[in-house]
Structure 1
Amino acid sequence: MKIVGVAACPIGVAHTYMAAENIEKVCKEHGYECKMETQGAIGMENELEEDIEMADLVILAISVEIEGRDRFDDKIVYEADVAKCVSDPEGVLNAALDYYKENQ
């Protein structure tokens, strides 16, 4: 399974990057390919491009509006609060996978 996502928090510093890193780490531990884009204080980094087309699931680890949300319109999108992705990435991944199964 290929997972992509975006992480963004109100200040755009610590939580943005920790959430992206935690989601990528837990996905890797479960054998999933994952790429997370960050939209932080210094702008958009690790921008998703062709990765979106190949993705099975999108995880939005956000607590603010993000740029380019419409890129995911034809995908299964699971949205979780950025703080939850920092504190419980395993729980977020499990919930996202359940959501994916329900919406396939």
Structure 2
Amino acid sequence: MKIVAVTACPSGVAHTYMSAEALERAAKAKGIAVKVETQGSIGIENKLTVEDIRDADIVLLTNDIGLKETERFQGKPIVKVGVSDLVKKADKIVEKIEVFIQSKK
């Protein structure tokens, strides 16, 4: 099982990175592979590759601000969440994603 994600917040600083860390921690605890691209004030970091996206079961996007290059996720299941929700509820979000992915197999 693999999740790819893009996180960003309106200021492009704290919540962008806090949400990425929260998702990584929650996925790791469940044994789920995850790669998170951040789109912060210094630009895109840890950019997702074509292979990352191809191999992913699901894409998680934060929806507090317009993200760049979202067309690359066309055809993939997409979950959109608020950046604050991801920071505060990453465990529950990952659990719901896990159930969704398992239901599709």
Distance in 1 (alpha carbons) for counterparts of 2:75 and 2:69? 13
Q: Percent identity?
A: 40
| TM-score normalised by structure 1 residue count | 0.91
Equivalent residue letter for 1:94? E
Extract unaligned runs of 5+ from structure 2.
Answer: none
Look up the match of 1:78. Answer: 79
Look up the match of 1:55. Answer: 56
Equivalent residue letter for 1:84? D
* Greater Cα shift, 67-76 or 89-98: 89-98
Extract unaligned runs of 5+ from structure 1.
Answer: none
CA contact (8 A) 1:2 1:32 kept: yes
Deviation per residue, 1:23-55 (Å, 9 max, x gap): 011101100000000000000000001200110
Equivalent residue letter for 1:56? D
Match runs of 1:11-22 below 5 Å: 11-22=11-22
CA contact (8 A) 1:62 1:80 kept: yes
Give the secondary-structure state (helix, strand or coil) at the position aligned to 1:22: helix
Look up the match of 1:65. Answer: 66
- How big is the shift at 1:62? 3.3
| TM-score normalised by structure 2 residue count | 0.91
Look up the match of 2:32. Answer: 32
Deviation per residue, 1:39-82 (Å, 9 max, x gap): 00000000001200110111113311100111111101111100
Give the secondary-structure state (helix, strand or coil) at the position aligned to 2:6: strand
Return closer, same or farther for 1:87/1:75 CA change in 2, 3 Å cut-off: same
